[in-house]
Chains A and B, each alone.
Chain A
Amino acid sequence: MAKLKVKVSGKGTSDDPFRVDLPAYTMVAGTEEYADKARKILKSVVVEIPDDEVDDKGKPSLEKIRRKYKGQPKWDRPDLKLPK
């Protein structure tokens, strides 16, 4: 598993929870950084992602994710953007 710090998306609501927009990941507990702690707005977190979804530098790879999830509209699309 590759470990990296990424920005979190979402609003923290039931239909738009705080999350990382990757097909497979695990947040590492205790690594959460908040944009506003009082309002519970999550900013970034360290996640673990499968080795076959990262490039040589350990970053999420568009090409590998598109190939692994080929034909799945959410991940196999030309305008796919991965979290930084």
Chain B
Amino acid sequence: MVRMYSAGPQASRLAWYDRNPTNRYQYFLGTNLTPHAITQRWTYTVPTGKKALLELAWVLCRRMTAATTAGRPYSVIDYQPYGGTEAALLMAEVVTNNVAETSEKQLGQSIIMNPGDLIRGLTVDDSTGGNCDYRLIAKITEFDA
């Protein structure tokens, strides 16, 4: 008698969420910040041998007091693949001088980052006078590649 076997499931690899997952939380909560040059508030680089799932990202920029001369304050999260060119992933920009004017953006979909990829959060306010609130938030789960 001949038995036929199907391949069946492969000697399975654990799912990503079971491969030593580690939570990473990058955040910057800037309140009533005066005008400033472009500043990288945080960065995260995927370590060698790991991958990372960017699950959530949120940026906000809100004018809190009017400027003497309004510029264009913004907060931005950039993404740069390993060896590649960086690009803005999310950007919140205030283009008026109205108090409480708010711009915010959220990531619409999770992305996978490979070893060496990085994200970074930046803020800038080229106004004269006045101040703004900024939020730059990212929740990441890092796991074995």
Contact = CB atoms under 8 A, between A and B. Distances in A.
A25 B43 contact: yes
Nearest to A16: B38
- Main secondary structure on chain B at its contact with chain A? strand
A47 to B, nearest CB: 8
Interface residues of B, number: 28
Given A19-B39, A27-B42, A29-B33, A72 B48 contact: yes
A22 B49 CA distance: 18
B41 A26 contact: yes
A3 B42 CA distance: 13
Given A27-B28, A29-B28, A72-B116, A10 B40 contact: yes
Nearest to A47: B42
A22 B26 CA distance: 14
A23 B44 CA distance: 6
B30, B48, B115, B118 pick with most chain A CB within 10 angstroms: B48
Given A71-B48, A72-B48, A72-B82, A29 B30 contact: yes
B130 to A, nearest CB: 14
Interface string A10-33: 111110011110111111010010
A27, A32, A68 pick with most chain B CB within 10 angstroms: A27
Given A17-B122, A72-B115, A75-B45, A26 B39 contact: no
A7 B39 CA distance: 13
A42 B115 CA distance: 30
Contacts of B28: 26-27, 29
A57 interface: no
Contacts of B118: 23
A42 B123 CA distance: 13
B26, B33, B40, B122 pick with most chain A CB within 10 angstroms: B40
Interface of A: 10-14, 17-20, 22-27, 29, 32, 40-42, 68-72, 75-76
Interface of B: 24, 26-31, 33, 35-45, 47-49, 82, 115-116, 118, 120, 122
